[in-house]
Amino acid sequence: MASSFREVLKSGKFVITSEIGPPKGTNIEKMLHHIDLLKDKVDALNVTDHQSSIMRFPSIGGCLTIKEQGGEPILQMTCRDRNRLALQAELLFAYTRGIRNVLCLTGDAVLVGDNKAAKGVFDLDSTQLLKTIRQMESGKDSGGNDLDGTVEFCAGAIVTPEAKPIEPQLIKFEKKVEAGAEFFQTQAIYDLDNFGKFTEYARQFPVKILAGIILLVSARMAKYMNENVPGILVPQNLIDELASAPKGEALNRGIEIAGRMIATLEKESICHGVHVMAIGREEMVPDILKAAGLAT
């Protein structure tokens, strides 16, 4: 069966994805609400996998819910917590339950999270996970053993266009393309000129690039990300723009900025789509899309 997200990627339309952060606990109400709110407004919804190494409700659980509600899930899979047996087993399970999209990530270090004494597995890395998926599609597991019933996934990966130095990042990007990545969701970008240079280069590869857009809610958040989040660079003019917002208006200013960026990316065909992350404020995603003129 063809993947419907894959078809959207191929259609040439400006693709919109967003993401859901599962709860830390069994109270899934907010997650259900976010899924309900977003599933028809975007082409697919990622569910994060213990983001920032913080133990949470699993990605696969969120993906099944999205599926049940008629949305299109993207299963995020990091290599931090499972060895190759567990990763492959989850792919088999996901496939049988109609999940057709996987985002392959190495995963953050255990040390940045909230269970700091846990073992970081990293039996595979993101590139090897992509290869493993393609191998499973050919009917063999990573040990070369036959599968009774195979999988088929639209597989994606991430890339950090603002990484410094950039060349090692691009080498890794090309390895992921070669390993079978069909789409890339990027780390958050804010400098569209610099991002344009990256997509110019990426155009030579048969992959779709979805620009990562993280909603800025205050000048403080922007500065914090500049100092603490690898590969994110919010330019000073955007920080000033947020800082100049009247009291209580910074969030709206952030929505405006995100909307404006998305609109430019689309109008100037800088990339194939966007991946909107509103970390903890998922209910703002429709407003961002509206500000971008993309609301359906």
Partner 1 sequence: MKSITKQKPFKEIEQQLDGFDRLYIAGCGTCTTMTKTGGREEVLEMRERLQELGKLVTGWIVIPTACDEMTEVAVKENNGAIQNAKCILVMSCALGVHKLSTYIDKPVIPALDTLFIGVEDSPGCFQEVCAQCGQCVLGETAGICPLTACHKGLLNGPCGGTDNGKCEVDKEKDCAWTLIYQRLKEQGRLDLMRKYHPPRDCNVAPRPRTIKIT
> Least distance to partner 1 from the beta carbon of 157, Å?
10
How far is it, in rounded angstroms, from Cα 187 to Cα 152? 26
Element (H, E) at 249: none
How far is it, in rounded angstroms, from Cα 178 to Cα 124? 16
C-alpha 278, offset from chain centre? 12
Nearer to partner 1, 85 or 295 (CB): 85
SS3 117: coil
> Least distance to partner 1 from the beta carbon of 173, Å?
9
What residues contact residue 68 under an 8 Å CB cut-off, 6+ apart?
none
Element (H, E) at 96: helix 84-96
Task: Identify the residue among 172, 208, 272, 275 touching partner 1 (CB under 8 A).
Answer: 172
What residues contact residue 108 under an 8 Å CB cut-off, 6+ apart?
51, 52, 53, 78, 80
Give residues 65-104 in contact with partner 1 (rule: CB under 8 A).
80, 84
Nearer to partner 1, 92 or 170 (CB): 170
Is residue 109 involved in binding partner 1 (CB under 8 A)? yes
Interface pattern 211-250 for partner 1 (x via CB under 8 A): -------------------xx-------------------
Among the candidate windows 17-25, 64-72, 163-171, 283-291, which touches partner 1 by CB under 8 A? Answer: 163-171
How far is it, in rounded angstroms, from Cα 130 to Cα 139? 15
Is residue 144 involved in binding partner 1 (CB under 8 A)? no
**Dmax (CA) of the chain:** 63
Give residues 6-65 in contact with partner 1 (rule: CB under 8 A).
none
Query: Which residues of the chain form contacts with partner 1 (CB under 8 A)?
Result: 80, 84, 105-109, 111-112, 120, 122-128, 131-132, 142, 158, 160, 163-165, 167-169, 171-172, 174-175, 178-179, 187, 230-231
